[in-house]
Chains A and B, each alone.
Chain A
Amino acid sequence: MKDVKDRYLWDGSGDPDPEIQRMETVLRKFRHDGAVPDFPQNLAISPRTRRFSFLSGRLIGFAAVAAAILILLAARMIVREPNPAPVTEPGWNVARQAGSPRVGAKTIDGNTISQRLGVGQILETDSQSRANITVDQIGEVQIEPDTRVRLIKSTPQQKRLALERGTIHAAIWAPVGEFVVDTPGALAVDLGCAYTLHVDDAGAGILHTTLGWVGFKLDGHESFIPAGAACPTRPKVGPGTPYFEDASEALRSALSKLDFEAHTPQGRRLYLDMVLREARARDALTLWHLLARASDADRGLVYERLAAFVPPPPGVTHDPTARLDQRMLDLWWNELGLGDVSLWRNWERSWSPGESNSK
């Protein structure tokens, strides 16, 4: 390999390639630990005495070992697969991580092989339990303690889970929009990668995106939450305004009031002013979402503040944007560099209206 970087790929010599080093770092946790298992004593291999003699010690030894292994494997199957019923229904595999999670009425304990979560079934953890769901080759969902989820749908085109309460961490590599989570306050649509979603007993939720971005939707309300950002939801209200988690406390507090508490025009204007005052360039995320949430009278203020941080691209002008022209809003969103909104619009077109979250 002539390229210096390829020398690093070949044998670790030469100048390190930062991209490969990064891959090594994040993939290292999947490496085999190399520890030699404690093979059972009955696997002992009889010593060979005469290699080529018929019925030599070696042959007898291996016959004994083979028999022992067969017994071991048979015992292993009996112990680990007490109900090896064929799986015909669509569903996902659930593995216990701690405690005793339950799938329907069945408890997954230390002696149970992973359980199948079928469509319509509920997976529930108590305060001591954790579980891991393998989502049909497209991702993983970690179930934290005190969580209740229900599998709504599992088809090649769509995987849909309802989070009724508690916390999940999803890492998804499916095509955009294939993995969807219902919450009492909004529908969370995976637009790539990883996020944490929490729903409390009252149905209020919050989503934190770790990697990629996620769309939140309830009826006409929608929010896009890129990595490093969060977005709350409330039942019957829908998704609030997303914000980067390093935004000032004052901005986040004012945003919460604006989204869920302030109902008079004066009150809303008060909190909107606070948000506009606190906003940094990075908070263009929040300002873009406020365009659709501000009153007609206040929208011009949001437009000007956003334009100061991220000038509207060619073709995007004040008046149509103030009338919430979808095409112009989308063009401006793409200018923020947080994701291509056409992915979301494509998903919206493919989403059956009958499936929208109506809670």
Chain B
Amino acid sequence: MISWFATSDAGDASMVEAARNGDREAFGQLYSRYSRMVHGILLARIPHTDVDDLVQEVFLSALPKLGALRDARRFGAWLAAIARNKAIDFHRRSRPSVELTDQNVVKRVDGQITGRSEHAEGLVILAAIRNLPDAYRETLLLRLVEGMTGPEIAAMTGLSHGSVRVNLHRGMQQLRKRLDQIRVTARPDLGSLISG
């Protein structure tokens, strides 16, 4: 797997410092580097149709609080906590889902035309992951949806390598079990689709 994340704490710290000093480009780089992590954390908690908008909100609300971040090397863990709180706020508000952007509409419609069954299969797996315990679903979504490796998840979220390994391993065990149950009961063809 090709790692496209730069995971150096020192690199993060210098970008956070630059963003604090008004460097918009640095803020953009932080967004590029961490938006998938934020997206995965939100996806574990709120409907996927609402996630994209909320990613932007997380960064917009994090920006003015940057001054309160004592250790710039802990930016990822700090941002992850903001994202989790944002998801809680979302449910408190119980607002209707936000409208899709035009860009996303094109992507979604294209996807449905070229692979409707894949889309449906993805929704089912997504739902199965979201029914797993908290720790497992977040880590699995970062790995399977956002394409991050275990070491990248650890570096970004501030979790230890050991915790991420356990979450991935046990989470995947539970996910396979759930999908097997779906296959042998109500959805006999799902398993064969998953295994290609």
Taking beta carbons and an 8 Å cutoff, which residues of A are in contact with B? 1, 6, 9-13, 18-34, 36-37, 39, 43-48, 58-59, 61-62, 65-66, 69, 72-73, 80-81, 84, 87, 93, 95-98, 108, 112-116, 130, 132, 134, 137, 139-140, 142, 169, 171, 173, 176, 191-194, 196, 210-213, 226-228, 337-340, 343
Shortest CB-to-CB span from A17 to chain B, Å, is 9
Q: List 15 A-B contacts (CB under 8 A).
A: A9-B172, A10-B150, A27-B144, A32-B51, A34-B35, A44-B24, A47-B21, A65-B63, A69-B61, A72-B60, A73-B60, A108-B99, A169-B112, A194-B117, A211-B190
A142 touches B112 (CB 8 A): yes
A46 touches B22 (CB 8 A): yes
Cβ-neighbour of A58 out of B21, B31, B116, B122 (below 8 A): B21
- CB-defined contacts of B36 to chain A, threshold 8 Å: 31-32, 34
- CB-defined contacts of B38 to chain A, threshold 8 Å: 32
Given A13-B1, A36-B31, A61-B22, list of 11 further CB < 8 A pairs?
A28-B147, A34-B35, A58-B21, A65-B63, A80-B98, A108-B99, A114-B98, A132-B100, A132-B108, A193-B120, A211-B187
- Can you name the residue of chain A whose Cβ is closest to the Cβ of B52? A32
Counting chain B CB atoms within 10 Å of each CB, the highest count among A11, A21, A24 belongs to A11
A226 touches B120 (CB 8 A): no
Docked pose: A327 CA to B143 CA in angstroms: 46
Docked pose: A18 CA to B182 CA in angstroms: 19
B126 touches A27 (CB 8 A): yes
- Can you name the residue of chain B whose Cβ is closest to the Cβ of A70? B64
Shortest CB-to-CB span from B65 to chain A, Å, is 9
Interface of B is mostly: helix
- CB-defined contacts of B125 to chain A, threshold 8 Å: 23, 26-27
- Can you name the residue of chain B whose Cβ is closest to the Cβ of A3? B169
Docked pose: A43 CA to B31 CA in angstroms: 14
- CB-defined contacts of A9 to chain B, threshold 8 Å: 143, 150, 168-169, 172
Cβ-neighbour of B145 out of A31, A61, A66, A169 (below 8 A): A31
Cβ-neighbour of A32 out of B39, B149, B150 (below 8 A): B39
Taking beta carbons and an 8 Å cutoff, which residues of B are in contact with A? 1, 19-24, 27-28, 31-32, 35-36, 38-40, 43, 47-49, 51-52, 55-56, 60-61, 63-64, 66-67, 94-100, 105, 107-109, 111-112, 116-128, 143-147, 149-151, 165, 168-169, 172, 176, 182, 185-190, 193-196
Cβ-neighbour of B24 out of A45, A72, A228 (below 8 A): A45
- Can you name the residue of chain A whose Cβ is closest to the Cβ of B57? A73
Docked pose: A226 CA to B27 CA in angstroms: 50
Docked pose: A142 CA to B64 CA in angstroms: 39
8 closest A-B pairs by beta carbon, nearest first, are A12-B1, A194-B120, A32-B39, A192-B186, A45-B22, A66-B64, A47-B22, A192-B187
Shortest CB-to-CB span from B76 to chain A, Å, is 15
- CB-defined contacts of A48 to chain B, threshold 8 Å: 20-22
Cβ-neighbour of B190 out of A43, A171, A212, A338 (below 8 A): A212
Docked pose: A244 CA to B113 CA in angstroms: 21
Docked pose: A97 CA to B108 CA in angstroms: 9
A37 touches B120 (CB 8 A): no
Cβ-neighbour of A37 out of B22, B56, B67 (below 8 A): B56
Docked pose: A343 CA to B24 CA in angstroms: 57
- Can you name the residue of chain B whose Cβ is closest to the Cβ of A65? B64
Docked pose: A193 CA to B52 CA in angstroms: 25
Cβ-neighbour of A30 out of B48, B67, B149 (below 8 A): B48
B176 touches A19 (CB 8 A): yes
Counting chain A CB atoms within 10 Å of each CB, the highest count among B43, B111, B145, B190 belongs to B145
B55 touches A32 (CB 8 A): yes
A11 touches B99 (CB 8 A): no
- CB-defined contacts of B1 to chain A, threshold 8 Å: 11-13
Cβ-neighbour of B32 out of A34, A59, A171, A226 (below 8 A): A34
Shortest CB-to-CB span from A26 to chain B, Å, is 4
Shortest CB-to-CB span from A146 to chain B, Å, is 16
Docked pose: A211 CA to B116 CA in angstroms: 10
